[in-house]
Structure formats: C-alpha cells, structure tokens
C-alpha cells in the first residue's frame, strides 16, 4: 500500500490553535484536523504547507519549527503526516474545502472529534505548551 505524505499546520494564536472540519462531501467528513495537504513532487514539506494553507484558507503563514510526525493506517490508505508550527502572517481565513474552522483552546483540543492521525499532534501541542487535558477520552 502506498504511503501518502501530507503536512499539517499548527497555527497558534495566544492560547488557541486553528482546527478545520472536513466538509460532508470530503473523505472523513465531519472530522476535525490541523489544516494542510498532500506534498507534491519536488516540493518540501514547508513549501507544501504554505501553498496548501494559501489555497484552502486564503492565509499566508511562516512555517516555523517542526512539531511532530505521525504515520497512520486508515485501512485503505496510509498517511505520513508531518506537522509544523506556523504563524499567520497575512490574509483572512476563508474556507473552501472545509465546512467550518474554529480557534480552539489548546487545553480543549482532545474534546474535538479529531481525525486519528491528528490526535498525536494535539497531544504533542498540549505537551509543548505544558497543558493537561481534564477531558475523558
């Protein structure tokens, strides 16, 4: 089975992080995720992330430090998800492939219906920001 390499942007604003929800017509509809997308040939993960966030959310970002990398088998596809911390540098969020976006308190990340590959990223963000979740999983 092929492994698809994708990126995810962890965009922090004070004590909140940006999540997007997959639209009803998309695969994994209704699942929340860190925004990003598939890496194209001859493209670095950082270039991919900046391009995808511009295409999908109409925002410019600076891709900052590496967050974590997760490989998850969804049964019909294996995703290698590379996450980076990002800073929004311009634009105003306009969704096109998602049906919602939300600035979520870091402490509340695990209360959302995150896609399975995004859960370890959320845990890493919480750890990096020294936040403990009081939610039941």
Domains of the chain: 3-128 (3.90.79.10)
Instruction: Give, for all 137 residues of the chain, the pLDDT tens digit.
Output: 789 999 999 999 988 999 999 988 888 889 999 999 999 999 999 999 999 999 999 999 999 999 999 999 999 899 999 999 999 999 999 999 899 999 999 999 999 999 999 999 999 999 998 866 555 44
Q: Which of 81, 108, 57, 70 is nearest to 8 (CA)?
A: 81
Kindly report the pTM of this predicted structure.
0.92
């Amino acid at each position: 089975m092929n492994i698809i390499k994708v990126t995810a942007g962890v965009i922090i604003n004070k004590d909140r992080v940006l999540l997007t929800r997959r639209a009803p017509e998309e695969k994994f509809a209704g699942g929340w995720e860190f925004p990003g997308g598939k890496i194209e040939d001859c493209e670095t993960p950082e270039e991919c992330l900046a391009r995808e966030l511009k295409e999908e959310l109409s925002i410019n970002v600076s891709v900052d430090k590496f967050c974590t990398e997760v490989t998850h088998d969804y049964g019909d596809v294996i995703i290698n998800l590379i996450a980076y911390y990002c800073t929004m540098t311009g634009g105003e969020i306009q969704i096109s492939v998602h049906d919602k976006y939300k600035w979520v308190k870091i402490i509340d990340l695990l209360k959302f219906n995150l896609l399975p590959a995004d859960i370890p990223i959320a845990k890493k963000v919480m750890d990096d920001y020294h936040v403990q979740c009081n939610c039941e999983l």
